[in-house]
Structures are given as structure tokens and as C-alpha cells.
Amino acid sequence: MKPDFITPLRVASLALAGAAALALAAPVGADRVLRLDEVAVGELDPGLASDYADSILMFNVYDTLVLPRQGGPGHVPHLAANWDGEGTQYTFQLRDDVRFQSGNPLRAEDVVFSLERMQALGRGLSFLFGNVEMAEAVDTHTVRFSLNEPYAPFVASLVRLPIVDKETVMANLGEGEGDMKDWGQGYLSANGAGTGAYRVIAHNPQEETVMVRNDDYFLGIDEGAPDTVRLRYGLEAATVRTLMAQGEHEISSQWLPPEVMRALSNEGMQLLTESGTGAFYFKMNTTKAPLDDVHCRLALANAFDYEAALKLIAVTDTLSQGSASTGAIPVGMFGANPASMTLARDVDASRNHLAQCAHDPADFSIEITWIAEVPVEERFALLFQANLAEIGIRSTITKVPWALFSSQVNKAENTPHVSQLFVNAVTGDPDTLLYGMYHSTAAGTWQSPEHLNDPEVDRLLEEGRTGASDEARDAAYAALNDRLTAIAPSIYSYDRQSIFAGSPKVNAPALSDPAQAFGLDGMGFSFRLMTVEN
């Protein structure tokens, strides 16, 4: 007898086949589309932005008064035509040919509003402007900032002050207390209000943000730049690999495992890079025996196998997710050593320092922690454990969730001997990298589990942030670099280098040519500077 129950199976099969046929028959977009991904969520409000995805959005939807100089340290005018100032007063003359995406002209009061909004919200990167006493509109196109105290990296901080359209925000205030209600958070979390080269047309913080080019952009946009950009959030590695193989994804995030990057490279994808913004550190608790003795710390620093560490994160034979460290300051920043002065393992030196250490290594077991959310750190912990075993130091490896780690480091006695951390300079200036890690007043945060208290380091950090000229600052940071190498509060494992797999049809100079790199996380993804084959 013919089994009639098979009918639902047949219907389902036909439905799926029909759907697939209809899907394949779907129209194909004709414009230049760039699809890339990052971890969720994408925060569109520039006052709340802090992560990598947020930075990509910020640098494309909004503009800032200055931009990092491409290919080296320093800054160039952007929304500002020029600026003047030092110490506690800075005056910026704005360009008069800039319009917001709403059509409103850019005015000095928009700059003042943007700063006040960021300070009032107190979220994201607002801490960078904690020392700005006030900003005032001198005239329509002139704005003056007054600082509480001299702060040389102030101009660098401005790369994190996106200018928002005051008129648009004020017309879209949501519910809240006081005159400013919610400061437009509800509106700006779903809409753009900047002068940027790309306009947001759809935003789902867990799925994707869709942007289209703003043809009225004040600097113009290359014809070959993408017409539409789809920034997708939270794609799995397997999904990204399949999408790229299908030609439905142009640039991967930096978070793919090295093995997947390698596979994509073997399949013909290009590898794009962004570096010079931070480093990977083994941070030693300088208050806890035996690491309270500088010789013991130097023994550990010399025992570490820097070359093997780079191999652990190698993507190809010549490219790794890090570059060789030359000291406490990543190559490319003020005070950094030349790229040729790489740190190297020296077991003899390590044993000599160990012999001079006031503590007997046999009395201790070094606790090496790794952050549970960053699995690659376990590999480094195992490498370091093997390195220490070679010089006769016992160690244990502990996995710590980030939430627990960030609270336990508040007290020196609860802080483990060795913590592994990636730290970035959020403005590209060494002050935002080093002050929070090594100044004695900043001890006990997630960035500073060293609990360092060294007057010489404090002095040089102050000198670096108040230096009157780039040369003076460079000299101060170079001296600081030497001091930090001599007292070794951390092991400077490698300079971080982000790698992205990209389709060959994408040309991204800021991510492939060091002379055009910005040295600031996310700014290499300025879509107006990219081109995409149609």
C-alpha cells in the first residue's frame, strides 16, 4: 500500500526548493557594497561610544576637529581650519564650508554642545575631557577651550570628540529630567547627526548598521568608495568564512582565530593590518613577594620567550597578530625605541638577576592568570610557565573571568603575581596608554595591576603630559621608556597588530600601507578612503 503520510514530507521539500529558487532569482544590488563585521553591539551614540565597532561608526558618521597624522605621530586639521594654543587655552578656527547631514551648517556652538553633552552623560570616553573646564563659542566659527591644568595631549583627545548637530538633537530630545532631558540619547542611539561621509539609514545594535555615502561631504568622496556599507555584528567565525567564500562579505573582524585567518589567506583573501595603538603585557604585582624585588621581575622579563610568543599568534610565516616589542611604548608613538631594537629572551641574564633577588624562588609559586574571555591568553600562560620552569621557578595558571579580575585588582593583596592584558591608547597618544598603567595615583585599576609606585616614573609621566613641544614630550617618554625597562613592572610581550581578512576587490590604503595608517583604533576603517570593485 502506498503510504499517504509521505505527503507532508513532499510538501516541505517542494516548499524549500521553491523558496531556494525564488531566493536565487532575487534581484542583485548594483551599487558598490562593503560588508564587514565586528562584535556586538554597535553603539551609534557618539557620547556613549567606546568599543571598536563604536569607533568605526563614530569615524564615519561624525567628524572631529583634528585627525591623527597618517603615517606618524601628530595631528592635522579636519573640521578645524587651524588651531592655536598651549598650556590651558586652545582656540580652534572652524572651516566654513561644512554642513551636517541634516543640511545645518557647522558652527562653534555645535562644538560646545558636543563637549557639554559628553561631559554631562559621563559615559564612553568622556573621561578624556574631565580636565576641560569649559568651551565657549567666540564667534560663529571660533571655539575656545579652557583647561583646569596644562595637558599637552588635549589636541590628541579631540580625535574622540565627535561633533554632533545641536539643532537636530535639540529637536529630538526624549524623556528625562531638566532642560536637556535625555540629551537626545534616544534619538542618537538610532540615528546619526554628524557631518560624516556616511549616513545611517538603518541600525539594529545586535544585527547590523546600514550606511550610505553622503554625497555632500565637505571633502568629497572618491567615486570608487562604497555606496553602501553594512556593518554586521556578532558573526561567528564559521559564518564569516562561509560568507567570504560565497563573496557575500568583504572584510572580517580582527577577532577571528589565527587558523581561520590563515585559511582565508590561503583562499585568496588579502590580510589588512592596523598597528601602533597598544600592546600586550604580562603585568607583575610589584607589591607582592617575590616580585617586589626588581631583580626577580627582571629575571622573569628575561626568561620570557618573546619570539615564541609571536609564533603563537602567527597568521602566516611573515604576519602575526603582534609585532616584536621594543620596550614599554609601542613603535610609532612618542618615546618608542626603533623597530630594530627588539626585546629577546636571555636566560643567562635571567639567572643572574635571579641570583641577586632577595627572595629564594624555591619559597614561592608564581600565580599566572589569564582572562577567561580571551582564550589565546591561556597559550601565553603555558608558554610563560614553561619559560619559568627552565630557570627553576614554580608557577600555577589560573583562569579568571573579566568581571572578577577587574574587581579583585582594586587591592594589591588580592592582585595575582602576573596578569595578562591588552591595553590600548584610546587617542593614539602615549599618555592615554601609560598614565593609567604606571602613575602611582592610578594604581589598582584593571590597567594597573602592577600597583607601581615609582617617583621617577610619576615625574616623567607628568613631564610627558605637560611638555610644551612634541620634541620635549618625545624626550620625556623616551626617558620613561628606559626607566620602565630598567625596573620592569611589566613584561612587554609584543606590540598589538590587528589583522583583518579582506576580499581582493577591496582597496584600503589606511589598513595596508604604513605611510597612510592613522595609528588609532578603528580609524583605518574610514570608508571614504577605501575603494571597492563593483
Partner 1 sequence: MHPVLRLLLRRAGMSALVLIGVSVLIFVIARVIPGDPARIALGPNATVEQVANLRDALHLDQPVWRQYGHFIADLARGDLGVSLYTNRPVTTDIAQFLPATLELVFAAAILMIGLGLPLGILSARYRGGIIDNSIRVVALLGVSAPSFVWAVILMLLFAFFLPIFPIAGRLSTDFLIEPVTGFLLVDTLLAGNPAAFGNAVSHIALPAFALALSGIGQAARLTRANMVETYDRPYIEMARSYGFPERRIAGRFAFRPSLIPSLTILGLDFAAMLGNAFLVEAIFAWPGLSRYGVAVILRKDLNAIIGTVLIISATFLIANLIVDLLIAWLNPRIRHGRGTGG
Chain positions contacting partner 1, by CB under 8 A: 1, 3-9, 12, 15-16, 18-29, 33, 40-41, 43, 45, 48, 50-51, 122-127, 130, 185-186, 189-190, 204-208, 210, 230, 232, 234-236, 238-239, 241-243, 245-246, 248, 401-404, 406-407, 426, 446-447
User: Min. distance of Cβ 123 from partner 1 in angstroms?
Assistant: 6
Comparing CB distances to partner 1, the nearer of 7 and 318 is: 7
User: Min. distance of Cβ 527 from partner 1 in angstroms?
Assistant: 16
Is the Cα dihedral 169, 175, 179, 180 positive or negative?
A: negative
Residue 265's H or E segment, with its range, is helix 258-266
Comparing CB distances to partner 1, the nearer of 173 and 245 is: 245
Comparing CB distances to partner 1, the nearer of 264 and 388 is: 264
User: Min. distance of Cβ 45 from partner 1 in angstroms?
Assistant: 7
Which amino acid is located at 29 in the chain?
G
Q: Which residue has the cell 616589542?
A: 325
Comparing CB distances to partner 1, the nearer of 40 and 294 is: 40
Q: In the sheet that 322-324 helps form, which strands lie side by side, from edge to edge?
A: 322-324, 490-502, 270-284, 418-424, 365-371, 394-400
Collapsing DSSP to helix, strand or coil, 159 comes out as: helix
User: Min. distance of Cβ 93 from partner 1 in angstroms?
Assistant: 30
User: Min. distance of Cβ 310 from partner 1 in angstroms?
Assistant: 24
Comparing CB distances to partner 1, the nearer of 121 and 347 is: 121
Q: Which residue has the cell 614554580?
A: 394
Q: Distance between CA 499 and CA 262 in Å, rounded?
A: 11
> 229-238 burial, b for 16+ CB within 10 Å, e for fewer?
bbbbbbbebe
98 by Cβ neighbours in 10 Å (0-12 / 13-18 / 19+) ranks as buried
Comparing CB distances to partner 1, the nearer of 52 and 306 is: 52
Which amino acid is located at 203 in the chain?
H
Q: Which residue has the cell 547627526?
A: 193
Which amino acid is located at 358 in the chain?
A
CB distance 24 to 493 below 8 Å: no
* DSSP string for residues in 22-53: HHHTS----S-EEEEEESSP----TTT--SHH
User: Min. distance of Cβ 449 from partner 1 in angstroms?
Assistant: 12
User: Min. distance of Cβ 159 from partner 1 in angstroms?
Assistant: 15
Residue 67's H or E segment, with its range, is strand 66-68
Comparing CB distances to partner 1, the nearer of 87 and 122 is: 122
1 by Cβ neighbours in 10 Å (0-12 / 13-18 / 19+) ranks as exposed
CB distance 305 to 383 below 8 Å: yes
Comparing CB distances to partner 1, the nearer of 19 and 134 is: 19
Comparing CB distances to partner 1, the nearer of 22 and 362 is: 22
User: Min. distance of Cβ 512 from partner 1 in angstroms?
Assistant: 26
User: Min. distance of Cβ 437 from partner 1 in angstroms?
Assistant: 12
Comparing CB distances to partner 1, the nearer of 305 and 429 is: 429
C-alpha cell at 151: 595637558
CB distance 200 to 61 below 8 Å: yes
Residue 266's H or E segment, with its range, is helix 258-266
Closest by CA position to 329, among listed 516, 496, 498, 451: 496
